[in-house]
Amino acid sequence: MSHDARAWVWDHSRSKGTARMVLTLIADRCLDLRCVAYASVPTLMKRANASRTAVRDAIDKLIASGELVQLDGRKGPRGETYYQLPAAARFLAERATDEDRNPTPQGDRIPTPPGPESDPADPLERGPDTSPRGRISTPGGSGFRPGGGTDSGPQNSREPKVNGKSSSSLLTPATEWQVDDEAHAWLGQQGHLARLGEHGLRAADEKWRAYRATWPPRPAAAWAADWRAWITNERPADHGRRHLRGIPGGGTPTRAPGMTRSEEHMAALLAALDEPNGTE
């Protein structure tokens, strides 16, 4: 059935560019004449080789054109969004009615070649929410929904996680990279949380993102390694600072007329040496 829905996109859809590719990918997941399928934005990004903004804009255009409808109140096994291709569903329903009225003679029937074009969708990608007839058995709004939203989890084991170890092929800018649970655990294990404190860690993270903002997108694992190296080299705000101009006991030396800054610093050092320390 996915072949019929995909063929409708190729032959009848008015969409163009990325929108046409996204519609084809969704149609490829349809299992019956209703042309209903679920998909996540990260999956569409990876398979269309497009950015998140491009995929979202494509979906908005398809919905505005009426060739795609978002089904509210229904989620996939990992929180994916359900869509329907209404025009494709009407076309396939009308064709099925015509075939029932005018059946093709047995001798003239063209057999459908085997292979991925005629086979149903991969059972690994169908998930637990579909029955053998393509009937949706998961109640609306149920199923596992990750804390990061519908775009944070993969649809099956062969698709990448957004910010996990298997996302090496998904490039993101540094400003969108998120500190995960593993990085938080590393901060405590290495003592960086106690050394810098919450305020210091937040300031170090902001400096890192500002410095890396102009860098090209990289895999999440690369950003994680770079971020850890940055945090390791970060020092507290008052680490190692000494005010040479301060005189033991308080106060600031007054610069004599005609004294240069270097001579002033030397006078402060001599005054510190002359200060009694109790060991004389």
Q: What is the per-residue pLDDT for 267?
A: 76
Question: What's the token pair of residue 183?
Answer: 């990085």
Q: Which residue shows structure tokens 């291709």? A: 85
Q: What is the per-residue pLDDT for 194?
A: 85
Question: What's the token pair of residue 120?
Answer: 């149903």
Which pLDDT tens digits describe the chain residue by residue (280 residues)?
Answer: 568 888 999 999 999 999 999 999 999 999 888 899 999 999 999 999 999 999 999 999 999 999 999 998 888 898 899 999 999 889 988 888 877 777 655 555 545 444 444 444 443 344 444 444 444 444 444 443 444 444 444 444 444 444 444 444 589 898 888 888 888 888 888 888 888 888 888 888 988 899 888 889 989 888 889 989 988 988 876 554 444 444 444 455 555 666 777 777 777 777 766 655 555 5
| 157 within 8 A of 124, measured Cβ to Cβ | yes
Q: How many helices (H) and strands (E) does the chain have?
A: 10, 5
Q: What is the per-residue pLDDT for 109?
A: 52
| 130 within 8 A of 137, measured Cβ to Cβ | yes
Q: What is the per-residue pLDDT for 169?
A: 54
Task: Report the length, in residues, of the chain.
Answer: 280
Q: Give the predicted TM-score (pTM) of the model.
A: 0.38
